Amino acid sequence: MEEGKKQVIDEQVEKLEEEIPVPVQQGKDKKDGKNKKEKHGNSKLKEENEKLLEQVRQLQEDNQALLDKVKMTQAELVNYRKRKDEEVSNMLKFANQDLISELINVVDNFERAIKLDDNDLTDELSKFLDGFKMMYANLMEILKKFGVEEINRVGEVFNPNEEQALMTDSIPEMDDDVVTEVLLKGYKLNGRVIRPASVKVNSK
């Protein structure tokens, strides 16, 4: 009997609960709480995205810096190789400069000897002089093969890079600073002056 009463009471309570409306404020609080959670979640996600973007930007900058460094290193290596190649090339071109400078002094002596007048010599000395001339010509050919060339600019304007003026002339029909005579030949080795020519220069 008591069980029957209890069941009836429980049914009435359930009916009342269904009929009593849920307070509006309570539903709003639940919704606001949900919105706050969503906003908090979105804010946190946005913050994480910004951190990731910042990391990506930093990685891109670091990558570009490394690329620039590699390019600079490659350029320096290319320039170093060019300098070394040029140094080696110059060493090879002018390796014989000291020897050739000494040989030029021998050439000077040959030239003084062959300037002798054949008419004032005996037959024997004349033949001896012919031999000198042949040796001189042979020596000049050898020097030419090794890149040696004479500096002979008679009639041209004096060039201090290739000549040194030891004396002056005064020739009216020639302009000033024109080379009138070579006193001692100058020489170049592969374009480099190894001995400037000693010359006379016109000065009216």
The pLDDT tens digits of the residues spanning 138-195 come to 999 999 999 999 999 999 999 999 999 999 999 988 999 999 999 999 999 999 999 9
Q: Tell me if residue 198 falls in helix, strand or coil.
A: strand
| CA–CA distance, 48 with 29 (Å, rounded to integer) | 28
Closest among 176, 173, 174, 182 to 200, alpha carbons compared: 182
pLDDT of residue 71: 92
Q: Using CB atoms within 10 A of its CB, is residue 155 exposed (0-12), middle (13-18) or buried (19+)?
A: exposed
Q: What is the CATH number of domain 96-202?
A: 2.30.22.10
Q: What's the mean pLDDT when you consider all of the chain?
A: 83
pLDDT value of residue 115: 81
Strand partners, 149: 188
What pLDDT is recorded for position 120? Answer: 66
Distance CA(88)–CA(65), nearest Å, equals: 34
Report CA 133 to chain centroid distance, whole Å. 49
